[in-house]
Amino acid sequence: MTPSPDLASLYQLLAKERRPILPSGERRAILGCGYVGKAVAKDWKQEGHELWGTTTRHERLTELAELVDSPVVFDSTDSRSSLDFFGNLDGILVSFAPSKSAQVDVVQYRETFLGGIQVLLDALGRRPSDAPLQLVHLSSCGVYGNRRGALTDESDPLDSFHPVNEVLARAEEMIQSVRSENINVCILRLGGIYGPGRDIPGMLLSAAGGLVQRNGRNVPCWIHLDDIVRGVSFAFERNLNDTYNLVNDTQLTGQELSDRLCEQAGLPMTRWLTMDTTDRVLNARVSNAKLKQLGFTLTQPCMAD
Ligand SMILES: NC(=O)c1ccc[n+]([C@@H]2O[C@H](COP(=O)([O-])OP(=O)(O)OC[C@H]3O[C@@H](n4cnc5c(N)ncnc54)[C@H](OP(=O)(O)O)[C@@H]3O)[C@@H](O)[C@H]2O)c1
């Protein structure tokens, strides 16, 4: 249809004006503004979303106020904590993790993940509307456990032996229980996270010439912080409603990866153990094909480049 003369001149006028960057108008919450949550908050703030963000610590509220519109204290281990603040949200990223102790402690995992998700489910049950809601839950490829290096995708069984993996698998189940006509639930199983301040290649290089007390024959998986932020955005843009591995293309054993890094840096090789210790093990060539088939691309496909 040809626009009327008046409309045509209006279009011409508008074409000359700089387009304002409109806020998307979405209301989103980030449960657990730690390493990943903060990076996502920065990205979402630039996109113009109205943001809520949680921390367990009052002393972090001022720092968080730089990143989100409404910083909130939420601690799943505190029975007074609730998530009722969020009313009519369009999206929620679940990115909390036990961060109080450096050691992996199953009780803390249980309290943080299962306790936290239960509070979330209770709050969703009291949601005042049934408007569409996108949930993205950050899980871990650790749930696959020891698959003896086998190629592994999202349809493969999860490890039911290690108690931490049991907790992570239960957390996935719990969060998926809210999936409905109005609520999409996307689970992103992350590889080991690296990026600024978490310099895994640097850590591996610092062991050059020494002995690492872990089984170097196991195959771990990795993902750069930038690609997590992009993966989370991708999940929200595409309204994903399924489970995806979010890992890079590196499918090397620990020994192979550190050999490659040491060689590139001209450093002596590191020796690794050739048998398992009591540590929790991921030993699987984790596939990222399912997410890539949807058009997702990685900016940091390989840790050793
Ligand atoms: N690290 C990895 O290599 C890795 C691998 C696979 C998957 N993941 C998953 O990726 C996600 C993000 O990890 P990250 O590295 O960003 O974690 P992180 O830096 O340790 O941040 C964790 C966040 O959770 C909050 N938190 C801790 N205990 C809590 C509790 N009991 N109740 C509520 N919130 C609590 C922390 O609060 P404060 O602000 O008070 O610290 C912090 O904001 C997590 O779901 C994690 O399981 C991580």
| Rg of the chain on CA atoms, in Å | 22
Closest CA to 114 of 154, 155, 163, 70: 163
Q: Tell how far the Cα of 236 is from the centroid of ligand 1, in angstroms.
A: 20
Q: Tell how far the Cα of 100 is from the centroid of ligand 1, in angstroms.
A: 10
Q: Tell how far the Cα of 181 is from the centroid of ligand 1, in angstroms.
A: 29
pTM for the full model? 0.92
Name the least confident of 73-77, 80-84, 227-231: 80-84
* Euclidean distance between CA atoms 22 and 140, whole angstroms: 35
Q: Decide: 95 in ligand 1 pocket, CB within 6 A.
A: yes
Q: Decide: 136 in ligand 1 pocket, CB within 6 A.
A: no
Quick: pLDDT tens for 267-280: 999 999 999 888 88
* Residue range 48-54: mean pLDDT, rounded: 95
Say how many Å lie between the first and final Cα of the chain, rounded: 54
Residues of the chain with pLDDT > 90, as a percent, come to 82
The alpha carbon torsion through 244, 241, 43, 202 (nearest 10 deg) reads -10
Name the least confident of 45-49, 206-210, 274-278: 274-278
Q: Decide: 140 in ligand 1 pocket, CB within 6 A.
A: yes
82, 193, 303, best to mutate for ligand 1 pocket (most atoms within 8 Å of CB): 193
pLDDT at 235 over 60: yes
Q: What one-character-per-residue DSSP string does 152-201 give?
A: E-TTSPPP-SSHHHHHHHHHHHHHHTT--SSEEEEEEEE-EEEBTTB-HH
Q: Decide: 33 in ligand 1 pocket, CB within 6 A.
A: yes
pLDDT of residue 128: 83
| Ligand 1 closest atom vs CA 168 | 47
Q: Tell how far the Cα of 158 is from the centroid of ligand 1, in angstroms.
A: 21
| Ligand 1 closest atom vs CA 64 | 39
Q: Decide: 97 in ligand 1 pocket, CB within 6 A.
A: yes
What confidence category does residue 156 fall into, taking pLDDT thresholds of 50, 70 and 90? very high
- Please indicate whether residue 128 or residue 242 has the higher confidence score (pLDDT): 242
Name the least confident of 16-30, 109-123, 162-176, 287-301: 16-30
What confidence category does residue 1 fall into, taking pLDDT thresholds of 50, 70 and 90? very low
Q: Give nearest CA residue, ligand 1 atom 11.
A: 95
Q: Decide: 75 in ligand 1 pocket, CB within 6 A.
A: yes
